[in-house]
Amino acid sequence: MDSPGPRAPDAFEWAAHRATFPIFRSSIYFNTCSLGALSTRVEAAVGRFLTLWHEHGASAWYGPWWDTMGALRTRCAQAIGAEPDEIALFPSITAALTAVASAFEYRDRPRVVMSRLEFPTTVYQWLAKRGAGVEPTILPGGDGLTMRVDAYAAATDRRTQLVVASHVYFTSGYVQDLGAMSAIAHAHGALCVIDAYQGTGQLPTDVHACGVDFLVTGGLKWLLGGPGVAFLYVRRALHDRLHPNDVGWFAHRDQFAFRTDAFEPADDARRFEGGTPSVAALYAADAGLSVVQELGIDRLRARQLDLVGDLIDRLRAVGLRPRVPTDLSGHAGIVTVPVPDPSAVVTALRQRRIIVDSRPGVVRLSPYFYNTIEDNRAVCAALREALAAPAPAS
């Protein structure tokens, strides 16, 4: 007889998980793609950090705090199919990308291929290096929803250093094909950088199988860990080939030797790291990631597809036109709805204790496992009312 596989949480268990996110006691939260909701587990983990600080002062560093850094690298590696020595820790995506960008010379390969649909910080990283010889190539955003693989292929050549793409595009929810991105880069001797901040937690990811060279992600959104921790994956074969020059003492092979005569980079991905992390944020990130891991990314994806499909149907039923593809298998949990005055709608919904956000021209909703069909019903009714109400006199 087949052994039973992992059992999917039933409706009651999803409700039990929702109950550990106190925001739902007073509000309906639909903005995980900006900031994941705070769970009681994450709150308790930050409390533990404070207690250790109280009780042990600096000696907490050399015990539990240091161990938490290691545990976090391991958890992140598990979430994306990597090994812990391929993970470096940073305070933000920007800091991680800066370390990556600092590992290249750009003289023979000045071109960096990106798209207009990236999150701005990703593009600014290389736009700001024009004076240092970088040739940023920004692909037009097409329909504003999808970014076709062919566009990256056409723009990549033997002068390309990096192909940079999102796993999930932050305004559209479109899911990029990571295997195709790395194949395009590698066909021309270039490397591929993936911004997976909107992907990890929402989508199963296997960095080894898809062959990407770098992947940045972090705790803020779908990993439920709040601000302050980002992760950089660096493919192991690149470790000894690359010498980032934007580094700090955490990147040294023998950090606690405190040598100042020479910089010897760590053998693993830590060679990209900078300075002292925010330890409270490490505790929060570790606890948030543990929730996601326990639920299982495949289960989360299945539940989210159900919620997103239902939300789209209900939005259409109230006369709205969500910008989503017909086939949701290439789409993540970000649903944008064009409206005439997005920030007025966000404010109107906030008055009804429904939290959504806006981007130029659209209201953005991002359901996650803790949302329910009842939340979908409520947000659609509130949107209908807010859009029917006359605009306040200015």
Ligand X SMILES: Cc1ncc(COP(=O)(O)O)c(C=O)c1O
Binding site for ligand X (CB under 6 A): 92-94, 119, 121-122, 166, 170, 195, 197-198, 230
The residue (of 94 and 293) whose beta carbon lies closer to ligand X is 94
In order, the DSSP letters of 27-45 are -EE-BTTT-PPPPHHHHHH
Judged by beta carbon, residue 166 or residue 371, the one nearer ligand X is 166
By beta-carbon proximity to ligand X, the closer residue of 98 and 161 is 98
Among candidate residues 286, 287, 285, 294, the one with its CA nearest the CA of residue 369: 294
In angstroms, give the least distance from the CB of 119 to ligand X: 3
What the block records as the tokens of 244 is 């980032």
Amino acid of residue 54: H
Q: Please, what is the minimum distance in Å from the beta carbon of residue 197 to ligand X? A: 4
* Shortest Å distance, C-beta 33 to ligand X: 7
| DSSP conformation letters of 27-95 | -EE-BTTT-PPPPHHHHHHHHHHHHHHHHHGGGGIIIIIHHHHHHHHHHHHHHHT--GGGEEEESSHHH
The DSSP output letter for 62 is I
Whole-angstrom CA distances from 168 to 317, 331, 335, 365, 383 are 26, 8, 12, 15, 25
Beta bridge partners of 192: 163
Closer by beta carbon to ligand X, 39 or else 122: 122
**Tokens 């937690």 found at:** 201
Distance CA 97, CA 112 (A): 13
| CB closer to ligand X, 33 vs 210 | 33
* In the complex, least distance from residue 380 CB atom to ligand X, rounded to whole angstroms: 25
- CB nearer to ligand X: give 73 or 221: 221
* Residue 175 CB, nearest approach to ligand X (Å): 13
Q: What angle do CA 198, 200, 204 make, to 5 degrees?
A: 125
| Nearest-approach distance from CB 261 to ligand X, in angstroms | 33
| Residue nearer to ligand X on the CB measure, 147 or 378 | 147
Comparing CB distances to ligand X, the nearer of 193 and 382 is 193
Q: Which of 74, 29, 3 is nearest to 231 (CA)?
A: 74
Task: Give the shortest CB-93-to-ligand X separation in angstroms.
Answer: 3
Please state the closest distance from residue 182 (CB atom) to ligand X, in A: 18
Q: What is the dihedral of CA 299, 286, 103, 128, to 10 degrees?
A: 80
Q: What is the largest distance, in Å, between two alpha-carbon atoms of the chain?
A: 70
